[in-house]
Amino acid sequence: MSKSKSDRQRAANAIARVRRDSTSVTGPRAPSAPLPRLEMLAGGEFVGWDACVDAKIRLSYLPVAQLPSKCRRAVQIAIDDTTARTLRRCRAVLFELSTSVVARIDVSQAAARCHEALAFNLAALGCPQASAEISAAAAQHVSFLLSQEYYGEAYLCLRAAIVWASDACQDLTHEPYNPEPNYARLSKCELNAERWHAFGYALRDAEAQLQAADDVLRGGAGMTAPQDGDLALDFLGDGVAYPTPEEVAETRARESAAAPERPEPTAVRTLVVVPSLGHLAKPTTYAQERRDSPRAEFDRIAGKALPLLGAPDPQAFVEGGSAAAPWLRPVFETLAQDLVGAPYAWLRPTVLVSSPGTGKTATVRAVARLLGLPLRLYSAAGASDGSFGGTSRQWGTGRASIPLQAILQEETATVAVGIDEIEKSSADRRNGSLGDVLLPFLERENAKSIFDLYIETGVNLSAVTYLATANSISGIPEALRDRLRILEVPSPGIEHLPVVAANLVSEIRAERGLDAAWLPDLDGEELDLVGKHWRGGSLRPLRRLVETVLAGRDRLAPRH
């Protein structure tokens, strides 16, 4: 069987499986607890098949005691009297809380999740806006699922999107609500395969027609752009029936047999970091050009599967790092444990601790380079707010979180974020604190859906590597220490002087734009001279000594 046939067979099998039993995707037919958003997008059920009962339970999961009084009242009213009106009001208040810059991160995230989930309950109660919202979300998810070849899940989401789109055509919030299982309604939605096939065939022809027209326009002077029906291609004209699925399958079989075998493409792991931004206002042409709105800024990665950079060989990682800094071999060996069998380049959140001047920041740069990850260094010294996690557009200068900015710039889901001198961040919480904001970023499960204040949606930052530095752990809050792997960084000794001096001279060469011919490494006598004044420890005095020796070279060099 050819590869194309086997691929089609696998897709057909996946769709047939979910049509027989969709519970592997949508969750149980009679759930005892509210289902997650993705299962609901595929057509999941409410608790007790009742949107009101499901909403009451979902709202009861909120940390009510930690909610502001306004939000607490709206939640309690919606629990006591669950109607379209009370749920709509409750969603509005939860959205305000989810975008608040003063709310605790865990509370705002819980509010954001509940706000998204209540759209399903509100749609079931007849709200056309909620139906349109989840129909658009399901359609967007279909596009992603097809790109990942999850055909069974895509079929269920497409079916659900069509049903909710039909619900969005009329307002039924004033009609009596009759609870019923979702699958009964969804099963009535027939996706006629022949009609979809004819549509797909027409779409393929249209794309070929447009491409041919573009080729003619690029053909040079004297060529005329074709009009409709003018192309010398074998397209089907008006009134001609489209081929049947059997005829298309026969044609494709002949094409597949005649086509040369192509090499298998290399599979690249991907991750969607930013979901659809359809909830944000569409930017004007001016805003799109300037990229001065959240949607205009992040549209190029919204819903896009970004690559996950592959993990390096653990042994090569250790040897590469130890060659330049042999005293750091224990550090590289510990970090390399995270790379054994890793599907992509990622390290557990780690803080490198040692006395000042021992090269911790340089070690962070070396680790990121060996991992092949783009690095963003964030200085925590004196940081007195929570802007690391992004700022809301309610302020004049809203922006996304530091990791999300790095992902946008690099267009890869795997980046490294270095947090320099983390123990020196301010403990003042009046404007938020770095220590508090970092907590959800450092927990991988929470990082899969961090609510970003700037683009007002959950983003998946679980593939980001965090490396911090500190002179001591005494200034690091206890909650932050619990989430960080603490590694003591050894200081270089006198036995490492030749390697360290060579590294410093290499840095100075790069700074001055010279090569080794113009600025060679220290010779034996120069190393002996430096060794009399540096016996190990901080690299800063050693650099000053090396610079002094190099300056002496310049003064003693013969002039011609």
Q: pLDDT tens for residues 67-112? A: 889 999 999 999 999 999 999 999 999 988 888 777 888 888 888 8
Residue 234's pLDDT band (boundaries 50, 70, 90)? very low
Average pLDDT over residues 134-151: 86
DSSP 387: G
Q: Where in the chain is the domain with CATH 3.40.50.300?
A: 270-488
Helices (H), 411-518: 434-442, 444-447, 478-482, 497-512
Q: How far is the C-alpha of 151 from the C-alpha of 135, rounded, in Å?
A: 18
Give the per-residue pLDDT at 484: 93
CATH of segment(s) 270-488: 3.40.50.300
Tokens of 382: 């004196």
CA distance 154 to 150: 6
pLDDT at 317: 92
Of the candidates 476, 470, 479, 407, the residue with the CA atom closest to the CA atom of residue 439: 479
What is the spatial distance between Cα 95 and Cα 104, in angstroms, rounded to a whole number?
Answer: 14
pLDDT at 364 over 90: yes
0.85 cut: is pTM over it? no
Residue, of 310 and 220, whose pLDDT is higher: 310
Max mean pLDDT range (247-251, 280-284, 414-418, 450-454): 414-418
Whole-number pLDDT of residue 486: 92
Q: Say how far apart CA 106 and CA 400 lie, in whole Å.
A: 18
Instruction: Give yes or no for residue 434 having a pLDDT over 80.
Output: yes
The pLDDT assigned to 75 comes to: 93
Higher-pLDDT residue of 532, 211: 532
26 by Cβ neighbours in 10 Å (0-12 / 13-18 / 19+) ranks as buried
Nearest CA among 262, 339, 325 for reference residue 539: 325
Is the per-residue pLDDT at 152 higher than 90? Answer: no
Q: Which of 100-104, 243-247, 439-443, 526-530 has the lowest mean pLDDT?
A: 243-247
Mean of pLDDT values over 330-348: 91
DSSP character at residue 28: -
Residue 398: pLDDT above 90?
no
Q: What are phi and psi of 103, to 5 degrees?
A: -75, 150
pLDDT at 540: 82
Could you say which DSSP state residue 456 is in?
T
Whether 274 contacts 457, CB under 8 Å: yes
Give the type of residue at 128: P
Share of residues in the chain with pLDDT > 70 (%): 82
Chain mean pLDDT for the chain: 82
For residues 206 and 149, give the distance between their C-alpha atoms in angstroms, rounded to a whole number. Answer: 23
Element (H, E) at 350: strand 350-353
Residue 439's pLDDT is: 92
With vertex at residue 245, the alpha carbon angle to CA 243 and CA 249, rounded to the nearest 5 degrees, is: 100
Highest mean pLDDT among 259-268, 303-312, 427-436, 509-518: 303-312
- Lowest model confidence (mean pLDDT) among 98-112, 216-230, 274-288: 216-230
Over residues 505-525, the pLDDT tens digits come to 888 888 888 778 788 888 888
CA 131, 137, 141 angle in degrees (round to 5)? 140
**What is the DSSP-derived secondary structure letter of residue 392?**
-
Q: Who has greater pLDDT, 501 or 349?
A: 349
Q: What is residue 121's predicted lDDT score, i.e. its pLDDT?
A: 93
Give CA–CA dist 30/184, Å, rounded. 13
Residue 21 has pLDDT above 90, yes or no: no
Q: Tell me: the pLDDT tens digits for 161-180?
A: 988 888 888 888 888 888 88
**Confidence tier at 375 by pLDDT (50, 70, 90):** very high
Does the pLDDT at position 479 exceed 80?
Answer: yes
Residue 140: pLDDT over 90:
no
Q: What's residue 258's pLDDT?
A: 58
